[in-house]
Structure 1
Amino acid sequence: MAVNRFLNLKMDTRQELQEIAELVAEICNTPAALITVMGHDTKYIKFTSANYNDDESHIWEDSFCAFLIKSAKELIVSDALLDKRFANNPAVTNAPHVRFYAGVPLTTHDGHSLGSLCILDTKPRQLSDSQLHLLKVLAKRIVLITEFDFSLNIMKEQYLEAKSSEMKLRSFFESSGSCHVLLGREMEILAFNKNMADFIEKMHYVSLSIGINICQILKDKHLETFKADYKKALNGKTVEFEREVNYRGELIWWHVIFEPQYDQQRNIIGVSYNATDITEQKQYEQQILAQNESLKKIAYVQSHELRRPVASIMGLMEIIKNENYKPAREELMMMEKAVQELDERIRNIVSMTCNKVHQKNAAELYPTLKKSS
């Protein structure tokens, strides 16, 4: 509602409006000058030049100001007791016993009526043309003050909102361990975080800055691949993948997301590119896969290769038992061969297990070595 502009005035404009009310009363030589604002059913007296006790519970349709705002032009009542529109008005028949009233509407630049600037007296009188002109000029001044204050507050709110959004975006950018960059519709950089800037500086020898184009950073196959994914996002599709990239012999696994960015009208205005280094995760996954493969081999050895020498030994023991534990030379030689085969299989299993333990210890040590390097 337009009236809220006036009701929510900040303290820095109140003094000036108070001075206007006092100036009007002095020049027009009246005991009271009022700046009033009309709500749905209430008259708010914001500024007055005198100790004016108005009962705000009066229905505003019965007041002078309500009549003024409805007519949307100045209202002059020389003697209220002689004017049938106001002769029975409570403000006339009771305190403050208004007899003279003159007011002009407060109308915003876009046609909204806020209230009035008016003068009151307890005795009949006339208003000169110069005094009426003064009321109109100062009414415009009041509207300009309130409009300026309103516009200034909007700009402050928009600025604070923009700064808040910027701070949130920057906080997200800088608190994340990933690389982030916002791109415009021509692949120009709109924003980026420190991780991205450091990585580009290290790998591509380019210092990132707002406005620089991706074409100035990536080359050849890397640029063509990036363009293809960027265009998909610019057409409204989110692109997400994992990819291993070779940077002059250094292999890095990335989890990448290209996402379209929209304005308030849902028009695509650019693309966000987010890349997270998942090399350590991938190495761990590969380690797990290798361990699983080793476990499969161990299980195969246990279920197949160990069974044969064990079965041979068990069979020979049964023969020796039947011979009252008096084995022949051939049987002992066969027993020795089976034991040697079993020992060899056990050694293989122990060797595989030790290798896995060594790899696990190396993997646990890897992050520490990576950080220290």
Structure 2
Amino acid sequence: MFEKGFEDLSVIDRFLDLKVNHQEEMQEIVQLASELCDAPIALITLMNKNIQYIKFKVGTTLEQLASNETFCQYFREGEEVMIVEDALQDDRFSNNKLVVESMVRFYAGAPLRTHDGLYVGSLCVAGTEPRNLSPAQKHLLKVLAKRVIQIMELGLSLDILKKQFLQAKNSEIKLRSFFESAGSCHLLIGKNLEVIAFNKNMAYFIDKLFQVKVFAGQSVKHILKGDMLKNFISEYHKALRGDSVNYEREVTFNEDIMWWSVTLDPGYNSEGQIIGISYTATNITEKKVHQQQILEQNECLMQIAHIQSHELRRPVASILGLVELFKANNYTSDPHELIMLGRAAKELDEKIRAIVALTE
């Protein structure tokens, strides 16, 4: 069961207390999960031993639930996506408050699991009609759940970083331990555009993209050039004024297209003064690829629906009309009628082949 993951409640409480900087992106994730899974309800939840807190949501006004009222209490160890096709027919949920009062019938959830295996919540979708998810939708839910935990762990790490490192620039060992344990690209920049610290991932990409060996004390002006430098300085000054900057960017790397989620956050000292910024870039190519796949699948379904509802009617109507004509003439026909029947059958065959092609 899900609650077996709660070995360290203090860690979960830290996630609950965390002020997530990516509020807009987290809300976009639940909106995306709702739309691409065709579910009216989508939630990002955090759960301690007694209460499930609903942090971001679409389609509900609920703020929290008792742990024994939740669906995700039944997550099994190692389970990537839990599906409940019809809660009313499931003994675990048939008397559940959500099923009885809110008419929830369908549920699909992906657990939020930290890098060290601790379960802290879920990304889930729900609806009032029994159904299932397609394999592509299940995979998308799993990918989005990974993105949620990336954002939360990054926020937690940056929170620690800003409290520990930016209070004293000589905390390099602590900073390095955090930087090199994370999969994203990290860079700390001072108030004069000087590089304070960076991780191996950042050094690698700077070297490959700009042919520059980055080092502490180096000016960003010696790394970036032209419009890229101009845009970065604009974003940098916005962060220095106390605003978080968030955006997604497409980059060509080794002839491959990669998508990155970029964040610039202000860094404060113990007196609350801004003394620099933290720059973080996270690879979200997989999420973008699967979003595009879902959009392409939806486009194919729309084309199939159009063919079925509009283009199939004409040849079918022609064939039915000719059949009635044959019947009225005691099933005798002239060559012209047979030619018309052949044309209608050919057109119908072409439309069916078009539908088959869209499903391949």
Runs of at least 5 residues in structure 2 that lack an aligned partner in the other structure: 1-163
DSSP 3-state at the match of 2:340: helix
Partner of 2:281: 275
- The one-letter code of the counterpart of 2:233 is K
Normalised by the length of structure 2, the TM-score is 0.50
1:324 aligns with 2:330: yes
1:219 aligns with 2:229: no
Instruction: Find 1:209's aligned residue among 209, 215, 236.
Output: 215
Give the deviation of 1:229 after TM superposition.
0.2
DSSP 3-state at the match of 1:317: helix
Partner of 2:262: 256
Partner of 2:297: 291
Q: Deviations over 1:78-98 (max 9, x none)?
A: xxxxxxxxxxxxxxxxxxxxx
Tell which deviates more after alignment, 323-332 or 193-202.
323-332
Partner of 2:357: 351
Instruction: Find 1:198's aligned residue among 195, 204, 208.
Output: 204
Partner of 2:28: none
Instruction: Find 2:306's aligned residue among 300, 309, 315.
Output: 300
* Structure whose CA Rg is larger: 1
Instruction: Find 1:336's aligned residue among 335, 342, 348.
Output: 342
Partner of 1:243: 249
Partner of 2:52: none
Partner of 1:228: 234
DSSP 3-state at the match of 2:293: helix
Give the deviation of 1:280 after TM superposition.
3.1
DSSP 3-state at the match of 1:346: helix
Residues 62-81 of structure 1 mapped to structure 2, 5 A cutoff: none
Give the deviation of 1:164 after TM superposition.
12
- The one-letter code of the counterpart of 1:337 is R
DSSP 3-state at the match of 1:254: strand
Residues 104-123 of structure 1 mapped to structure 2, 5 A cutoff: none
- The one-letter code of the counterpart of 2:218 is I
Give the deviation of 1:163 after TM superposition.
12
Residues 227, 314 of structure 1: CA spacing in aligned structure 2 closer, same or farther, 3 A cutoff?
A: same
- The one-letter code of the counterpart of 2:201 is N
Separation in structure 2 between the aligned mates of residue 218 and residue 163 of structure 1, nearest angstrom: 24
Give the deviation of 1:253 after TM superposition.
2.1
Q: Deviations over 1:281-327 (max 9, x none)?
A: 22332232222222211211111111110111111112222223223
DSSP 3-state at the match of 1:269: strand
DSSP 3-state at the match of 1:261: strand
Q: Structure with the greater relative contact order (CA < 8 A, sep ≥ 6): 1 or 2?
A: 2
DSSP 3-state at the match of 1:177: coil
- The one-letter code of the counterpart of 1:317 is V
Partner of 1:310: 316
Q: Deviations over 1:207-263 (max 9, x none)?
A: 121111111100111100100000000111111111223568654322110000001
Separation in structure 2 between the aligned mates of residue 255 and residue 223 of structure 1, nearest angstrom: 18
Separation in structure 1 between the aligned mates of residue 332 and residue 285 of structure 2, nearest angstrom: 64
Residues 185, 162 of structure 1: CA spacing in aligned structure 2 closer, same or farther, 3 A cutoff?
A: closer
Separation in structure 2 between the aligned mates of residue 163 and residue 239 of structure 1, nearest angstrom: 23
Residues 14-25 of structure 1 mapped to structure 2, 5 A cutoff: none
Partner of 1:98: none
Q: Deviations over 1:8-57 (max 9, x none)?
A: xxxxxxxxxxxxxxxxxxxxxxxxxxxxxxxxxxxxxxxxxxxxxxxxxx
Q: Deviations over 1:153-188 (max 9, x none)?
A: xxxxx9xx9899755533331122211011111111
DSSP 3-state at the match of 2:336: helix
Partner of 1:363: none
DSSP 3-state at the match of 1:182: strand
Percent of paired sites with the same residue: 53
Aligned residues: 196
Separation in structure 1 between the aligned mates of residue 274 and residue 206 of structure 2, nearest angstrom: 26
Separation in structure 2 between the aligned mates of residue 164 and residue 171 of structure 1, nearest angstrom: 14
Residues 163, 274 of structure 1: CA spacing in aligned structure 2 closer, same or farther, 3 A cutoff?
A: closer
Separation in structure 2 between the aligned mates of residue 167 and residue 303 of structure 1, nearest angstrom: 65
Q: Deviations over 1:263-284 (max 9, x none)?
A: 1110001000001122332233
Separation in structure 2 between the aligned mates of residue 176 and residue 234 of structure 1, nearest angstrom: 24
Runs of at least 5 residues in structure 1 that lack an aligned partner in the other structure: 1-157, 355-373
